Structure 1
Amino acid sequence: MSAQFEITKSSNFVLVKISGRIVSDEGLADALDTIDKSLAADLKAVLCDCSRLEYCNSTGLNFFVRILTRSRKVGLDCVLVNLQPSVKKLFEISKLDEIFSCFNSTDEVEAKFNKVK
């Protein structure tokens, strides 16, 4: 099963819900285009909900780096929420956990960004 993306926009975030497995470029360009169209300077961050992301390889890591790069170009952060243990391990091994803000819940994200003025 390839990855599925549900991309929505709230008053504070672009929410990217990812499910399945990211092991190829299939569907990634469309997801990035949708994210690009949703980015706005009045938002706080792109929030990637990875609770249903079962697995990703280096293609998946590259996808997240591309989201981060595009987010930062408009002054936003990209945060990861609910990383599954195998995906979290990949971020740790690649040291990308030092670049991304990772949270255990959307409540933690809301609390962090509501403190930031």
Structure 2
Amino acid sequence: MNVNVESSLDKNNFIVKIAGDLIGDETGPKLMGLVSDAINDGARNCIIDLSRVRYISSSGIGVLITILTKMRNVGGEVFLTSPSEHVKKLLIITKLNNIFTVYDNLEEALANIP
């Protein structure tokens, strides 16, 4: 799995672009470290771009929920963008679409996040 990370110009938003399968393995701790660093740098929102994620395992769902918990503990929020049809179905089946705000694309997320 390849994890690309970029910070937006607005220091409150931390953008994570993920490519491949989100299965937890070594990527989970790596993502947790990146999110912790972003929080320490003042980020209060985490935007996760799922446009290049093909599959999310139960461990991958755990990673997303852990990121959400970390962000909410500092008064922040996590937003998901660009999920594939398969990932959208998974979010609906697991009812995570009720927990996360999901946007169709990154530009829409950035335009709607305060």
Secondary structure of the structure 2 residue equivalent to 1:39: helix
Structure-1 separation of matches of 2:109 and 2:54: 21
Structure-2 separation of matches of 1:44 and 1:100: 15
Structure 1's unaligned 5+ residue stretches are: none
Q: State whether structure 2 residue 78 is matched by structure 1 residue 78.
A: yes
Structure 2's unaligned 5+ residue stretches are: none
What's 1:107 paired with?
107
Structure-2 separation of matches of 1:14 and 1:112: 15
What's 1:18 paired with?
18
Q: CA RMSD in A?
A: 1.6
Contact map agreement 1:41 1:75 (CA 8 A) in 2: no
1:85-112 CA-partner distances (Å, limit 9, x unpaired):
1111111000011000000012211221
> When the two structures are aligned, how many residues end up with a matched partner?
112
Q: 1:101 to 1:40 in 2, by over 3 A?
A: farther
TM-score (norm 1): 0.86
Identical-residue share of aligned pairs (%): 29
1:37-87 CA-partner distances (Å, limit 9, x unpaired):
111585451000000001111111111101100111111110000001111
What's 2:3 paired with?
5
Q: 1:44 to 1:35 in 2, by over 3 A?
A: closer
Letter of the 1:9 counterpart: S
Structure-2 separation of matches of 1:34 and 1:105: 22
Contact map agreement 1:44 1:77 (CA 8 A) in 2: yes
